Amino acid sequence: MAVREPIVPFWQRLRAILLYPAHASSLITIGALALCHLVAYLPFGFVFDVLVWVGLYKYAFECLRASADGRLEPPELSVGVEDGLGWKQIWLQLLFLLFGVLGFAALGPAGGLVVLLFLGLSFPGAVMSLAMEESLLRAINPGKWLAIFARIGWPYLAVAALCLVIFLSQAYAKAFVAGFVPGVLAVVLAAFISHYAIVATFHLMGYLIYQYHERIGYEPEAPVATPRRAPADPDQDLLDEAAQLVRDGDADAARRLLGTALRGRGGSEAVHMQYRKLLALGDDRTERLRHGREWIGILLAQDKDRRAVDVARECVELDPAFQPAEPDQVARLARKAAEVGAAQVALKLLSGFHKRYPKHRDIPQNYLLAAKLLSERMGRDAEARALLDQLLGAYPGHPLAGDIAAYRRFLDKLAPAPAR
């Protein structure tokens, strides 16, 4: 597997993103397509003009795909995406327009504005989904938009806002051109401005996919930087087959392929990681929790406690009541989580341990750790003292009773003196 350089966040590349269409290969393409819009003056010119837009969107998707794979210069020719993707983008825009009109018709001006705002924020997610899966039906599924937003978080909203700013800027520039430039030339310049803005926004969306590809389950076709090479993964053929299925738009088949392999014979860490990415892409919460429980046991057996905590953190975010497969794993995971600063993860793993395993030997050490986390990391001294009192009452003769009592006295010293 290749070792990738850290990915520069998109907000540190805004100038490069805005100048992306200014590369020679892109300027030639969008300029030539802008001239092609003059076909609108021919008989049945509207039909020909639509074909020009289809070609432009095909090229824009080529740029998006290249950006999502980490290639930061525009492609010279649009050869890597299906011809139908340009048409699907046209239909996607028409459907969003229809949704907006229906929102105003059904909900009135106020409700319609809310729908319009939601659609505006969702449109980049729909385009990204269309680029990754090439399915118009999936691209108009609100669940896909919300899933992409949930996995990326605020950077997605920032990109949606940037796309809106670019769109409004190009609309203003086109209006300015229309007022000062003769008719035929104005058509070409206005088209060029629109093409430039579209390619810039598609590059921005593609780069967002690249920056957060692990969160959304997208596997870049080729790493950008491969300065060093690690030994080949023993399951590289399986990973390559799954990656090809994803590129072909069949992430479900890739997920089934890796899941079957893991359940049948196990797999390398890379296979487990890619399987989890695909599960996240498909929103399979139940299987993500089941696999997380299984993989945590494997990682702990391999003394990869830090990685096991990362998996536990993901599972706890999916289900706050998540627990590993074996009670003996809880103390080990919680200690490592506390060590790496994941206090919330540790506390959720420890919560209710005595109820699930009332006779387990780890109850005193687990709740002593919980008390320390409550006091030292969360500032909840009163809860920590109450927990320690319960431990002292329930386990007076335990080997840890001295440590528990000592920490209880320590917390008493921290308590503010009563007012006189």
Contacts of 299 (CB under 8 A, 6+ apart): 305, 307, 308, 311
* pTM check: above 0.85: no
Place of tokens 């093409």: 195
In DSSP terms, which residues pair with 2 in a beta bridge? Answer: 229
202: Cα within 13 Å, side-chain hemisphere: 28
What pLDDT does residue 221 have? 64
- The pLDDT of residue 339 is above 50: yes
What pLDDT does residue 415 have? 64
Residue 322: closest CA among 344, 299, 298: 344
Length of the chain: 420
Question: Tens digits of per-residue pLDDT, 256-291?
Answer: 899 898 888 888 888 888 888 888 777 778 998 999
Locate the domains of the chain by residue range: 10-211, 352-414
Q: φ, ψ for residue 229 (rounded to 5)?
A: -125, 130
Q: How far apart are CA 72 and CA 189, in angstroms?
A: 26
Residue 2: which pLDDT band, with cuts at 50, 70 and 90? Answer: very low
Q: How far apart are CA 16 and CA 31, in angstroms?
A: 20
Q: Which two tokens stand for residue 70?
A: 């980490």
Question: Tens digits of per-residue pLDDT, 72-109?
Answer: 888 765 444 555 777 888 888 888 889 888 988 888 88
